[in-house]
């Protein structure tokens, strides 16, 4: 365990040299904050990972284009209330205008500005509101603005998600902060930018000096232990984006993979990202239960993941969890159709410390005891397929009446 500490009320501007704001631009009918601006006082190394959805939104396409150039970034402008996805050539032109407007307002180059959008798909950005909002967001920038920014990027989230940690790197205090949003349409399958292959948005900042390759490696290493292991409803959004910025304000010698403190920094980075991912599931639309599902004994890790995702996204399983119904047959059923290789005679299932299935059959524990094991806000389920050494852990949740209500009439 790396020697880092969580900073109370930390957020994306806790690291030195970052400013942020969250303002009302008029994009949401509710009148809630709907635009955030995150700025580094100096050029920052940037890294990213983005959705694999074939209908990737215009901001995703633009950000990938900018980050492929491996040039410093100064700002990220985020709007909620409109996804700017499935909007054609005009949508792409508007994403560029959004970046250009922010660049002009901040006095930097357009290629130094990344943009993100979240909200309804298929709706064009109201550019007059974007332009006015950008100017208002710049005027509201402050070193304590990270909390406002985290609130402004929300859609159906019930609360902002932000934190920060500190650690010592090369004798200097280094801070890592972050914010994310996402409550529904959550099953990110993010692909690291270097591999080029409504919505989750996440931003991590650090005042550490790092090489571009090292920052991207940290981001890549964090994915399968964070955003790529969560699912609320099985839907991968058109706009999923995860962006990291490092501005070097801490004054340490630049970190790379050979640096003595590289492992400690990477662990702290992964902690921040993992916590943000977990909070997204806990705040999922209508969520009443957080479930850590551990699938082991698979032929390989890929099959373990396939099995875990089938269970975690099963409507029958998720509704059973909502009702604290210990109907383990639904779990085994989902595992059975997942395509993963299973030795049914060696399969075991546990709800926390309560044995549920042994040898593919009822372990004999009374149903009332089984129900008590999952009638909790958070619990763990462990399934061993008895077919190998592969494993995968997924963070998921139940499916409640409230989820249906929210998504039956979703207009941000």
Q: Which residues are catalytic, by number? A: 199
Residues constituting the chain: 412
Say if residues 41 and 15 touch (Cβ distance below 8 Å).
no
The residues, any chain, with a CB within 8 Å of residue 144's CB and separated by 6 or more, are 13
Tokens matching residue 360: 């593919």
Q: Sort strands 5-6 and 161-169 into parallel, antiparallel or unpaired.
A: antiparallel
- Mutual angle of helices 301-312 and 315-322, in 10-degree steps: 60
For residues 371 and 34, what is the distance between their CA atoms, to the nearest angstrom? 41
Measured from the Cβ of residue 410, the count of other Cβ atoms closer than 10 Å reads 15
Q: How far is CA 247 from CA 18, 40, 56, 94, 379, in A?
A: 8, 7, 28, 28, 39
Which stretches within 68-178 are classed as H helix? 88-106, 127-139, 146-152
The residues, any chain, with a CB within 8 Å of residue 342's CB and separated by 6 or more, are 307, 335, 336, 385, 386, 387
Distance, C-alpha 30 to centroid of its chain: 24
351's enclosing H/E stretch is strand 348-351
> Coil, strand or helix: which one is 171?
coil
Say if residues 286 and 405 touch (Cβ distance below 8 Å).
yes
DSSP per-residue string spanning 229-274 = GB-SSSPPPS--EEEEEE--TT-PPPB-TTSTTHHHHHHHHHHHHH
Q: How far is CA 289 from CA 10, 152, 272, 313, in A?
A: 26, 26, 22, 14
For residues 230 and 277, what is the distance between their CA atoms, to the nearest angstrom? 7
């Amino acid at each position: 365990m790396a020697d880092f500490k969580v900073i109370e009320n930390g957020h994306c501007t806790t690291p030195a040299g970052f400013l942020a704001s969250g303002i009302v631009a008029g994009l949401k009918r509710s009148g809630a904050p709907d635009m955030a601006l995150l700025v580094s006082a100096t050029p920052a190394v940037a890294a990213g990972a983005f959705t694999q959805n074939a209908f990737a939104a215009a901001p995703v396409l633009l950000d990938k284009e900018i980050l492929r150039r491996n040039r410093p970034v100064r700002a990220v402008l985020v709007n909620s209330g409109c996804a700017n996805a499935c909007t054609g050539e005009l949508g792409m032109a508007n994403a560029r205008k959004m970046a250009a407007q922010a660049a002009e307002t901040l006095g930097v180059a357009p290629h130094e500005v990344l943009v993100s959008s979240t909200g309804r798909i298929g709706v064009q950005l109201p550019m007059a509101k974007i332009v006015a909002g950008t100017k208002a967001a710049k005027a509201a920038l402050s070193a304590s603005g990270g909390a406002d920014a985290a609130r402004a990027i929300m859609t159906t989230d019930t609360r902002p998600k932000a934190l920060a940690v500190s650690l010592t790197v090369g004798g200097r205090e280094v801070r890592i902060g972050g914010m994310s949003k996402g409550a529904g349409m959550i099953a990110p399958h993010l692909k690291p930018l270097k591999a080029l292959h409504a919505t989750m948005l996440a931003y991590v900042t650090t005042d550490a000096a790092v090489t571009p390759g090292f920052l991207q490696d940290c981001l890549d290493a964090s994915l399968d232990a964070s955003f790529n292991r969560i699912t609320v409803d099985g839907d991968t959004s058109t706009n999923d984006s995860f962006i990291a910025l490092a501005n070097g304000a801490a004054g340490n010698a630049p970190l790379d993979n050979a640096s003595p403190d590289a492992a400690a920094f990477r662990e702290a980075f992964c902690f921040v990202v993992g916590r943000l991912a977990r909070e997204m599931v806990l705040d999922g639309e209508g969520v009443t239960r957080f479930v850590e599902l551990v699938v082991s004994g698979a032929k390989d890790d890929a099959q373990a993941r396939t099995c875990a995702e089938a269970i975690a996204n099963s409507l029958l399983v998720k509704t059973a969890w909502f009702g604290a119904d210990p109907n383990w047959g639904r779990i085994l059923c989902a595992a059975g159709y997942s395509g993963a290789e299973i030795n049914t005679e060696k399969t075991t299932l546990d709800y926390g410390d309560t044995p549920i299935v042994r040898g593919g059959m009822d372990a004999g524990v009374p149903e009332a005891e089984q129900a008590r094991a999952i009638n909790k806000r958070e619990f763990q389920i462990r399934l061993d397929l008895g077919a190998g050494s592969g494993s995968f852990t997924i963070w998921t949740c139940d499916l409640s009446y409230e989820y249906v209500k929210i998504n039956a009439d979703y207009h941000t």
